């Protein structure tokens, strides 16, 4: 195996799960997330000699993944059936059914956002990026990032408030 192949294999071993987790939050579907990661990694591998030279190859590949997601959303494609992800046991004494319901409601709320709003929300809250980094990754202004974030969070709150009311109709605040 040549040196670039070893570097790429190491990169995938080090960052593959992180990219898959990010892709899952973007797509909401495990199989679609895996397909998206494979697409991004294939694009990165084709130009690995350039990708490996950038300061942060993981951020570069994440940007490839984000752009691939946005491109797929622009072009209608088949819609596979969504499966609920397996949730890791973390020792919390929360009813597992409530956790599944909550995760499903968040996934549905994310699915109701535009692709740009969803990408901004995921990059900000899962990726921990600030507005400048998100703007750079999406190729837009910081003001556009803030607009997408504000509108996306507003839509998610509305969707999640409705979900809570369906689950607990007599809830007291």
What confidence tens digit (pLDDT) does each residue in 33-55 have? 999 999 999 999 998 988 888 89
Least reliable range by pLDDT among 18-27, 49-58, 96-105: 96-105
CATH number of the domain located at residue range(s) 1-76 in this protein: 1.10.1740.10
Residue 125's pLDDT is 87
pLDDT of 5 strictly over 70: no
Task: Calculate mean pLDDT across residues 12-20.
Answer: 94
Asked if 29 and 80 count as a contact pair (C-beta separation under 8 A), the reply is yes
Task: Calculate mean pLDDT across residues 84-88.
Answer: 53
Residue 126's pLDDT is 84
What is the spatial distance between Cα 122 and Cα 32, in angstroms, rounded to a whole number?
A: 16
Residue 173's pLDDT is 36
CA distances from 130 to 14, 28, 141, 147 (A): 23, 23, 12, 14
pLDDT of 150 strictly over 90: yes
Dump pLDDT digits (tens) for 62-77: 999 999 998 876 655 5
Least reliable range by pLDDT among 16-30, 104-118, 132-146: 104-118
Taking the CA atoms of 154, 159, 163 and 165 in sequence, report the sign of the dihedral they define.
positive
Residue carrying structure tokens 């909401």: 28
Of 135, 162, 163, the residue nearest 147 (C-alpha)? 135
pTM above 0.85, yes or no: no
CATH number of the domain located at residue range(s) 96-173 in this protein: 1.10.10.10
The two structure tokens encoding residue 108: 């549905």
Neighbours of 87 (CB within 10 A): 10
Torsion of CA 74, 78, 79, 80, to 10 degrees: -140
- Domain boundaries of the chain, sorted by first residue: 1-76, 96-173
Residue 74's pLDDT is 63
pLDDT of 148 strictly over 50: yes
Of 85, 86, 42, 82, the residue nearest 61 (C-alpha)? 42
């Amino acid at each position: 195996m040549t040196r670039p192949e070893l570097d790429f294999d190491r990169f995938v071993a080090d960052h593959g799960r992180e990219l898959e987790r990010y892709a899952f939050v973007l797509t909401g579907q495990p199989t679609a997330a895996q397909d998206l990661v494979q697409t991004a990694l294939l694009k990165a591998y084709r130009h690995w000699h350039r990708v490996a030279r950038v300061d942060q190859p993981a951020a570069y590949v994440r940007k490839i993944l984000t752009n691939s997601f946005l491109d797929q959303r622009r072009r209608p494609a088949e819609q596979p059936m969504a499966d609920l992800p397996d949730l890791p046991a973390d020792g919390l004494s929360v009813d597992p059914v409530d956790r599944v319901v909550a995760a499903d409601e968040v996934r549905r709320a994310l699915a109701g956002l535009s692709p740009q709003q969803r990408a901004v929300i995921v990059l900000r809250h899962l990726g921990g990026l600030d507005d400048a980094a998100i703007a750079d990754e999406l190729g837009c202004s910081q003001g556009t990032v803030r607009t997408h974030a504000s509108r996306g969070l507003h839509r998610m709150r509305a969707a999640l408030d409705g979900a809570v009311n369906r689950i607990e109709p007599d809830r007291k605040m």
